[in-house]
Amino acid sequence: MKPNKILSLVTISAIVLITSCKKDDTPVPTPDLAPTVTSISPTSGPKNTVVTITGTNFGTNLATLKVYFNNVQATVQTATNTTITAVVPITATTGAVKVEKSPTAQVTGPAFTILGTGSVSTLALTGAASTLGLVTGVTRDAAGNLFVCDRDANRIVKITTGGVASVFAGSGSGGAIVNGTGTAAGFYAPYGITIDGAGNLFVGEYANQAIRKITPAAVVTTLAGNGTAGLLNGTGSNATFNQPVGLAVDATGNAFIADYLNNVIRKITPAGVVTTFAGSGAAALTDGTGTSAAFNGPFALSFDPGGNLIVADYLNHAVRKITPAGVVTTIAGNGTAGYVDATGSAARFFRPAGLAVDGAGNIFICDAQNNRIRKISSTGVVTTLAGNNNAGSVDGVGTAAQFQYPLGLCADFTNSALYIADFGNRSIRKLIID
């Protein structure tokens, strides 16, 4: 055999030997590890609540990952290997939460309790401002944070969705009007509060006779008023109020104020120009247009879907409506204090206060002296959602729950919840309206 042929055979043999010794690169299948669930948060709530599920081995494939609430499949919003967020289905009932990674890898976790209509609970707060004083107003931003008027503490408290309470604005000292940022600003008995589409807060500061504005960065300025009580229209500090409380802001940035002791509804443009929108100043229950109408202690305001301004007429024990053209009518109640569930003028309230209106035109309202939360349908039918005439602090369902002079109210209609500033109990309560 020739040398070059011998070399070729040696080379071929070496290649075969090397190839035969080479490691198999075929991927080894990864075991489909079963998920585990260590906790869910919250453990109770209404339908449409977003629940965070914590555990292990969830995977991140939203195409195959499934979550069930008592065997009803939910919508999974986000997923990491250790955390899932899912929305409680509207057809779900109380029962266990189950996570299914695949047909052969699933686990059953803790139970989620569905809170139905009329369920009242008290928010458990942590943080530096977790002990509240006499709370009078509450509003909610797009992220779900609550902002509360802590009246006697002269501050605005922010409560996160996790229940952490901190001072958003206000030094707590009271006294004269002080503009500034956060705790460098000064309030004196902030009472009513609302929020606009850009996240700016507006506060009715009844002891300082002023309307304050707070940006999302907590910069506090004075929109109108100067600390002196009166009824003067004008721009900014040239205007005067007499215990302004409730507020509402329209889509173009105009603020409307319940000027309580002046018995009128005022309007403030974004430039700070103040005019009287409705009310003669006389303490009376009179329907009419603009200043020919009369109120008695207008307390809280909210817009309905048609752009009408709904007014809790506190000392008239009635709920009123003002059209964009200033036409005032009475929706429910007739000036007589009492407690009657009925339609229109046959219904009775006792100092109606904070309110909110849903997309269908239903009005939800704090009936303060009756210690109840009431509902007025779009056709004027008044019913009771929660509370009874007895003042107390009892979580429960419907008339088994108790409040102590509920004054402020805001809504999270997406999640079928109302948040209530429970004045006498110095707490924020949550009411399910689903």
pLDDT digits (tens, 9 = 90+) for 6-50: 444 444 444 444 444 445 555 544 457 899 999 999 998 888 889
Q: What does the mean pLDDT of the chain come to?
A: 93
The reported pLDDT for the residue numbered 46 is 86
pLDDT surpassing 50 at residue 5:
no
pLDDT surpassing 90 at residue 349:
yes
| Contact by Cβ (8 Å): 253, 264 | no
The reported pLDDT for the residue numbered 6 is 40
pLDDT surpassing 70 at residue 243:
yes
The reported pLDDT for the residue numbered 27 is 52
The reported pLDDT for the residue numbered 15 is 41
Rounded to whole angstroms, what are the CA distances from 262 to 184, 230, 233, 283, 413? 30, 8, 12, 8, 32
The pTM of this model reads 0.86
The reported pLDDT for the residue numbered 32 is 73
The reported pLDDT for the residue numbered 273 is 98
Lowest mean pLDDT among 5-14, 74-83, 91-100, 212-221: 5-14
Mean pLDDT of all residues in 297-316:
98
Quick: pLDDT tens for 128-184. Answer: 999 999 999 999 999 999 999 999 999 999 999 999 999 999 999 999 999 999 999
pLDDT surpassing 80 at residue 394:
yes
Between 182 and 114, name the one with better pLDDT.
182
The reported pLDDT for the residue numbered 2 is 46
The reported pLDDT for the residue numbered 14 is 45
Q: How do 155-159 and 165-169 pair as beta strands?
A: antiparallel
| Separation between Cα atoms, residue 57 and residue 80, nearest integer Å | 9
Q: Which pLDDT band holds residue 434 (cuts at 50, 70, 90)?
A: confident
pLDDT surpassing 90 at residue 237:
yes
The reported pLDDT for the residue numbered 25 is 58
Quick: pLDDT tens for 278-288. Answer: 999 999 999 99
pLDDT surpassing 80 at residue 307:
yes
Mean pLDDT of all residues in 387-405:
97
pLDDT surpassing 90 at residue 107:
yes
Between 6 and 209, name the one with better pLDDT.
209
The reported pLDDT for the residue numbered 177 is 96
